[in-house]
């Protein structure tokens, strides 16, 4: 007993102060790939190696449209490795959760060269949200909205369990999501929020719909990871319905493969704001 107390005191507080203090992220962490559309002369090599088709090229006459979908991206970094013009680099950004699927799409229009490369950027749309959307004090916001803690039910619709490992980490002493008054529950009937991982497999489609129906209103639905947003590496096929929003309505999208705990926390906090709007 004395040793346990001694260890506890010598360890001190291990819980991170995120989001009040920015998260410390290792330099090796692979986050969002960043695209310098003005400097990008040829997107074809990156599109060719992208394993999920997150980079799409559409040519029409003398113009080219390059679309990057962060909802499909698994942050593998291959596009940065093959882009010789240094227009793509992997960052450590993880605060990417958005309220709409369209916000995860970047689109750039180019005029086309005869050799297939593109030259001048004619239009460049960037739609990612900023950290400001998360807003002020979370636990206070939850209490003002619900008058109690926020109950979250996690639903595995067919994931590889990578996202589950990160979600489980939210409850450890480092991330300690309960400090915000957010806790996981065992039944959708007790939940305010569904945290759905994985592409929705055909076998889980009905279960997801029933879980949605069993969750009382007002509720928020959060699609977790590339698979939850778009089907990710599994896509849409005979066994998979693709992203969660093909089966039930989604309020918040959290990109990543898997999203790290802080990215999940960021998305959940964003969803609290969405829930507050619904309650109002």
Residues that bind ligand SF4 (CB under 6 A): 33, 49-52, 54-55, 73-79
Query: Which is nearer to ligand SF4, 16 or 104 (by Cβ)?
Result: 104
Query: Which is nearer to ligand SF4, 73 or 252 (by Cβ)?
Result: 73
Query: Which is nearer to ligand SF4, 73 or 151 (by Cβ)?
Result: 73
Residue 81 C-beta: closest distance to ligand SF4, Å? 8
178 sits in the region (left: phi over 0; alpha: psi -120 to 50; else beta) called alpha
The gap from C-alpha 60 to its chain's centroid, in whole angstroms, comes to 32
Which residues, 6+ apart, have CB-to-CB distance to 64 below 8 Å?
43, 57, 58, 109, 110, 111, 112, 118
Residue 1 C-beta: closest distance to ligand SF4, Å? 50
Residue 87 C-beta: closest distance to ligand SF4, Å? 12
E strands in 70-162: 88-90, 105-112, 118-125, 150-156
The gap from C-alpha 10 to its chain's centroid, in whole angstroms, comes to 36
Closest CA to 24 of 224, 182, 260, 267: 260
Residue 153 C-beta: closest distance to ligand SF4, Å? 29
Query: Which is nearer to ligand SF4, 204 or 226 (by Cβ)?
Result: 226
């Amino acid at each position: 007993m004395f040793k346990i107390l001694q260890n506890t005191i010598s360890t001190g507080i291990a819980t991170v102060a995120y989001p009040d203090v920015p998260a410390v992220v290792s330099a090796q962490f692979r986050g969002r790939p960043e695209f310098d559309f003005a400097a990008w002369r040829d997107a074809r090599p990156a599109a060719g190696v992208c394993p999920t088709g997150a980079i799409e090229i559409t040519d029409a006459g003398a113009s080219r449209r390059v679309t990057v979908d962060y909802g499909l991206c698994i942050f593998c970094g291959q596009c940065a490795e093959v882009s010789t013009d240094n227009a793509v680099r992997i960052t450590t950004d993880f605060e990417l959760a958005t309220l709409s699927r369209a916000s995860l799409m970047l689109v750039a229009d180019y005029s086309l060269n005869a050799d297939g490369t593109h030259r001048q950027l004619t239009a460049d749309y960037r739609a990612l949200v900023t950290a400001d959307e998360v807003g002020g004090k979370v636990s206070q916001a939850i209490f003002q909205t619900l008058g109690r803690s926020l109950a979250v039910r996690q639903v595995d619709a067919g994931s590889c369990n990578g996202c589950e490992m990160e979600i489980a980490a939210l409850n450890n002493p480092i991330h300690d999501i309960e400090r915000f008054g957010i806790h996981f529950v065992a039944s959708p009937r007790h939940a305010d929020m569904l945290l759905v991982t994985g592409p929705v497999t055909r076998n889980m489609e009905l279960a997801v719909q029933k879980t949605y129906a069993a969750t009382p209103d007002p509720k928020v639905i959060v699609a977790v990871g590339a698979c939850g947003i778009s089907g990710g590496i599994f896509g849409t096929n005979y066994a998979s319905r693709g992203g969660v929003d093909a089966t039930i309505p989604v309020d918040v999208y959290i990109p990543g493969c898997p999203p790290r705990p802080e990215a999940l926390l960021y998305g959940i906090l964003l969803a609290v704001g969405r829930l507050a709007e619904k309650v109002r």
